[in-house]
Amino acid sequence: MIQVGIFTGYFPYTLAEQAAKIRALGFNTVQLDLAFKDLDFSTPGAVTKAKARTVRETFRDHNLPISCVSAYTNIVHPDPDARKHKLDMLKAILRHARDFGTPYVISETGTFNTESDWVAHPKNKTEEGWDICRGIIKELVQTAYDHGAVFLLETYVNNVVGSVEETVRMFAEIDHPALGLLMDPTNYFESHNIDRMDSILKQIFDTLADKVRISHAKDVKRSGSDKSEKHADIDASEAHSFRGVGEIELPAPGLGALNYDYYLKRLSEKHPNIPIIIEHLEESDVPRAKSFLDGRLRAGGL
CB-based contacts of 166-173 (< 8 A; 24+ apart in sequence): 167/208, 168/207, 168/208, 170/134, 170/137, 171/208, 171/211, 173/134
What pLDDT is stored for residue 246 in this prediction?
A: 85
User: If you average pLDDT over residues 77-84, what whole number do you get?
Assistant: 96
User: At residue 225, does pLDDT exceed 90?
Assistant: no
Whether the full predicted model's pTM is greater than 0.95, yes or no, is yes
Distance CA 120, CA 228 (A): 13
Contact 112, 74 (CB under 8 A): no
What pLDDT is stored for residue 117 in this prediction?
A: 87
Q: For the chain, give the mean pLDDT.
A: 96
DSSP state, residue 96:
T
Element housing 205 (H / E): helix 197-208
User: If you average pLDDT over residues 191-212, what whole number do you get?
Assistant: 97
6-43 confidence digits (pLDDT tens): 999 999 999 999 999 999 999 999 999 999 999 999 99
What's the CATH number for 3-300? 3.20.20.150
What pLDDT is stored for residue 276 in this prediction?
A: 98
User: If you average pLDDT over residues 245-255, what whole number do you get?
Assistant: 94
For helices 164-173 and 127-146, give the axis angle rounded to 10 degrees: 60
Task: Give the residue from 72, 63, 78, 83 showing the smallest Cα distance to 22.
Answer: 63
Query: How many percent of the chain have pLDDT more than 90?
Result: 90
What pLDDT is stored for residue 260 in this prediction?
A: 98
What pLDDT is stored for residue 240 in this prediction?
A: 87
What letter represents residue 206's amino acid? D
Query: How many percent of the chain have pLDDT more than 70?
Result: 100
What pLDDT is stored for residue 224 in this prediction?
A: 85
User: If you average pLDDT over residues 236-263, what whole number do you get?
Assistant: 92
140-199 confidence digits (pLDDT tens): 999 999 999 999 999 999 999 999 999 999 999 999 999 999 999 999 999 999 999 999
What letter represents residue 157's amino acid? V
